[in-house]
Structure 1
Amino acid sequence: MNGGRTRPKVELDLLSLMLATGRAVSGLEPEHVQALRLCRMPISVAEVAARMRLPVAVVKVLVADLVDCGAVTAQAPPSPAGIYGRDLLEKLLDGLQQI
């Protein structure tokens, strides 16, 4: 399935969002095709792994192959500071330290 590879060519996070580009690619393995179908809508690496019922490490290799051939784009997840703001995170940290 992943040719014995344990590390993807592209660095992916569990929350990295995958999205199919629509580019036609031939000669894909069935697992690559299944992952590509799941990426028609934005989906995280973790969700692809869950839906395919495969270990995340295997899915990272499969999805990285799809990114490498241009069939899928990968977008890094936003940082927590970008989502919640520094003030909120500092208040959360203060509250946890008081516990």
Structure 2
Amino acid sequence: MTAAGEGPWLDAAAGRLVRPYTVSDGRTRPTTALDLVSQVMATGVVPLGYLGPEYSEALDLCRAPVSVAELAAHLKLPAAVTKVLLSDLVDCGALTTKPPAFRHSPTDRSLLEAVLDGLRRQL
């Protein structure tokens, strides 16, 4: 018998051996509209039943407001899978969402150029 976190689903060198979409039961469409810059935060409500380690990890990361994109990076999951997980947590009342607040239009040329410059500096 293997300990939790060991066995055929986890490899020390390769990482997760389970396809990301198995985490969301193959679902790719969230029930809640979420953008990559939408903010989510835990409400303190505990979901009924066990949802899985990714859900628990997401809830832990949502103690303070955090964006969907940031959560996807921390969880090492595709954004589509992360949105489904977060949507499930919103549906059960464990998370609340807040749409992004833009001081400028999200398609403002100066804003997009500033983001591009920041990305170029990171490379």
TM-score (norm 1): 0.79
Alignment root-mean-square deviation, CA? 1.7
| 1:55 matched to 2:78 | yes
**What residue in structure 1 maps to residue 37 of structure 2?**
15
CA–CA separation in structure 2 for the residues paired with 1:2 and 1:84: 34
Deviations 1:15-47 (A, max 9, x none): 100000001223221111111111011000000
Which runs of 5 or more structure 2 residues have no equivalent in the other structure? 1-22, 111-123
Aligned ranges for residues 60-71 of structure 1 at < 5 Å?
A: 60-71=83-94
Output the CA distance in 1 between the equivalents of 2:33 and 2:77: 18
- 1:66 maps to a residue whose letter is L
Length, aligned pairs only: 85
SS of alignment partner, residue 14 of structure 1? coil
Listed as ranges, the gaps of 5+ residues in structure 1 are 93-99
Offset of 1:54 from its aligned partner? 0.8
Q: Specify which structure has the higher proportion of helix.
A: 1
* Higher relative contact order structure (alpha carbons within 8 Å, sequence separation ≥ 6): 1
Structure 1: which 4+ aligned runs deviate by more than 6 Å? none
1:20 is aligned with what amino acid? A
